[in-house]
Structure 1
């Protein structure tokens, strides 16, 4: 079994979708399980535990990640995978480095192979530099991220700034394309010399070659691209008793609503598409109402007065507008106000009969899942690549979208009065 520790909710759903796509029976847990993971439903080929540690204090991120690792190991995981964002979202203080340091110590792994490459989402790594489509990471919109602005593109340098084990190295593309045995030989030469090895990857074939080389490693890390490749290797080896993989789960039907907190360019485009279609749209304004309870009540009162089908409530803003809010309230306080308000709004929408809840943004998704008390669910059909519907045991079906994922129409189509069959 592969045990995945994801540093945010949408990252976890992205990884779960990648495993399910390869035919692996996947269990998704939101937050640390209350009890042992083993015994929760049928035997799983992959268990994904989603945490909210991407922007948490480093000590808290390490504590929760180690707790998840111990849960997964007790459940029978033979390999741990630390799933971080394909844009390597972090700061010089963490949290990717500190968490991997702790997981490496726990598993005795080394060197740890990692790459944020996810070619299907336009993320590639070459000579250790991370590209977002045709731009270097530091030249992409991620340089304006409100919590984790990425102003460097060289991955070993980014990692060395936050790990207690500097000296990260690059596994060059010429080695990767030479195949798994060549990769294994290179890793053997690096044993004891480097803790972290960033493997170049330009396409899915590169990821599959890397995955075949590290399929039995105790610890691997990266984005959903490498996770999916590891799932493909597991499927190649055979999934006893499950020749056809999990059955398809159709998109849910019923009344839908959208909550958006991401300030990514793609989410802003998706909100514009909803507005252009004539759907009702409400902006949460923490400057006008900094109390999260009152802010949520105001939004729900608005919702009760409009044609509610596919209504959108958002806190997403363009960079200059976001800075204006943060200058008054501070980064941390403004984020807390909006996340608490979003959670209360989600509860209010569920009480009003919303059966499909579309959520944009990792932190917003975490707040919504926590407020609704969702412990996990079955991974269903994907509304977009890496954006699956999650079907909890009770309550609304939820679609948790990472800020940059999906086409311009995603929020509009996913929240339509009747989802496409």
Structure 2
């Protein structure tokens, strides 16, 4: 294995797995497998890139560090030459963690400093300029992410935000340096390392910037960022003859379908509203779930009754409604109850024969795939930027699309179900 990725949630893992498998146009990417949690057995010999999906984004920092170091140990045993710590392109974290703590812990374990920290993903509208994170044309803290129910982002200056989570000062490499070329970027990162700066925010406005950064870190043991930071990494190994390049196959599965949406992001709410106009849809009453009046079997029964009609069940709500529920029951209690509810619903669906499943929301996706225990997932073609087709192994494979809340076009749900069929 050449590249090992530690992802802090399941949708983010499939996002960067897609990036590594796709590679650069005309060249292809790496043979990539996504693992749901830390594997017990060694990877297959033909795997170029392994992506370990953790559910560590919103847990206590100490627990996130412990899990990430365990993942690092497994990846190093597979012979990985480069490690990527993947977090959300909107830098989802509180001032108490977990990006800084995990990044520093991995850097300490590998004995490195001057480590890139770049959440940019221009294809999804995330760019970094002068150390500030933008979502399309808005600063992060004015984009709606300030209302995130678990990790509200109230400061777009991610150098300042990250410094609250780290022991050492946080460096910065401007886009002007990046556009001077890979050598200039490498020199700036070396200077940051000499100044004992462990993590360094690196600006990136375009995919070309990310490709240039990728070339600059060809020999680095550790990189951190969103999935965009991996755009240029496969080429480093392909150009050195260590990998052949690979195109994502048109894999998929035929069979009954269902959609579960637990994200409260603006993009997901828009997708839900569009889908409701033409397909069977059920809103999940969170009060009823919390009080035990609505059970997973009720939702599964509705979705199964509408097999073949792209049925959707969702708990997505506007920020004010979400805050009201959190105040009534407690934020963690609501989050845990809904995660478990969606997990139990998905388990019932697959047990009843559903073979194509679309899930919206990082936390929801993590809960669902953990419950299904599908093992390693093959990476198929891209549905929308950052969201590939995923297919489990075994006699009864399941095809999945795991979508971060803010990802996907308005018609994502129907598009995803179609792509999950394969070719």
Same fold (TM over 0.5): yes
Per-residue CA distance 1:56-93 (angstroms, 9 max, x = gap): 11111000000000000011011111000001000010
Matched residue, 2:202: 199
- Is 1:370 matched up with 2:370? yes
| CA separation of 1:417 and 1:215: change in aligned 2, threshold 3 A | closer
Which ranges of structure 1 fall in alignment gaps of 5 or more residues? none
Which ranges of structure 2 fall in alignment gaps of 5 or more residues? 24-28
Deviation at 1:412, TM superposition (A): 2.3
State the distance in 2 between where 1:419 and 1:245 align: 21
For residue 163 of structure 1, the aligned residue among 139, 149, 166 is 166
State the distance in 2 between where 1:320 and 1:291 align: 20
For residue 43 of structure 1, the aligned residue among 41, 46, 56 is 46
State the distance in 2 between where 1:377 and 1:170 align: 36
Give the conservation status (yes or no) of the 8 Å contact 1:53–1:61. yes
Q: Write the mapping of 1:383-394 to structure 2, written as runs, cut at 5 A.
A: 383-394=383-394
Matched residue SS, 1:130:
strand
Deviation at 1:251, TM superposition (A): 3.8
Q: Write the mapping of 1:276-291 to structure 2, written as runs, cut at 5 A.
A: 276-277=277-278, 279-290=279-290
Matched residue SS, 1:415:
helix
The TM-score normalised by the length of structure 2 is 0.94
Matched residue, 1:409: 411
For residue 229 of structure 1, the aligned residue among 214, 229, 232 is 232
Per-residue CA distance 1:279-318 (angstroms, 9 max, x = gap): 1111222312326795212212333544663111111111
Matched residue, 2:338: 338
Matched residue, 1:87: 90
Matched residue, 1:353: 353
Matched residue SS, 2:216:
helix
| CA separation of 1:220 and 1:302: change in aligned 2, threshold 3 A | same
Q: Write the mapping of 1:31-70 to structure 2, written as runs, cut at 5 A.
A: 31-35=37-41, 37=42, 40-70=43-73
Give the conservation status (yes or no) of the 8 Å contact 2:8–2:86. yes
Matched residue, 1:7: 8
Per-residue CA distance 1:219-255 (angstroms, 9 max, x = gap): 1100111112212333333344x3x514512343322
Matched residue SS, 1:258:
strand
Matched residue SS, 2:17:
helix
- Is 1:215 matched up with 2:222? no
Matched residue, 2:298: 298
Matched residue, 1:328: 328
| CA separation of 1:339 and 1:192: change in aligned 2, threshold 3 A | same
CA RMSD after TM alignment = 1.8
State the distance in 2 between where 1:95 and 1:268 align: 27
State the distance in 1 between where 2:219 and 2:291 align: 50
- Is 1:252 matched up with 2:215? no
| CA separation of 1:275 and 1:188: change in aligned 2, threshold 3 A | same
| CA separation of 1:293 and 1:358: change in aligned 2, threshold 3 A | farther
Segment drifting more, 181-190 vs 364-373: 181-190
For residue 99 of structure 1, the aligned residue among 79, 85, 102 is 102
User: Aligned residues, how many?
Assistant: 414
Give the conservation status (yes or no) of the 8 Å contact 2:119–2:225. yes
Matched residue, 2:191: 189
Segment drifting more, 378-387 vs 75-84: 378-387
Matched residue, 1:274: 275
Deviation at 1:402, TM superposition (A): 0.9
Matched residue SS, 2:286:
coil
Deviation at 1:375, TM superposition (A): 1.8
Give the conservation status (yes or no) of the 8 Å contact 1:389–1:399. yes
State the distance in 1 between where 2:193 and 2:308 align: 58
Matched residue SS, 2:374:
coil
State the distance in 2 between where 1:230 and 1:184 align: 15
For residue 29 of structure 1, the aligned residue among 17, 27, 35 is 35
State the distance in 2 between where 1:308 and 1:295 align: 23
Q: Write the mapping of 1:122-161 to structure 2, written as runs, cut at 5 A.
A: 122-161=125-164
State the distance in 1 between where 2:362 and 2:271 align: 16
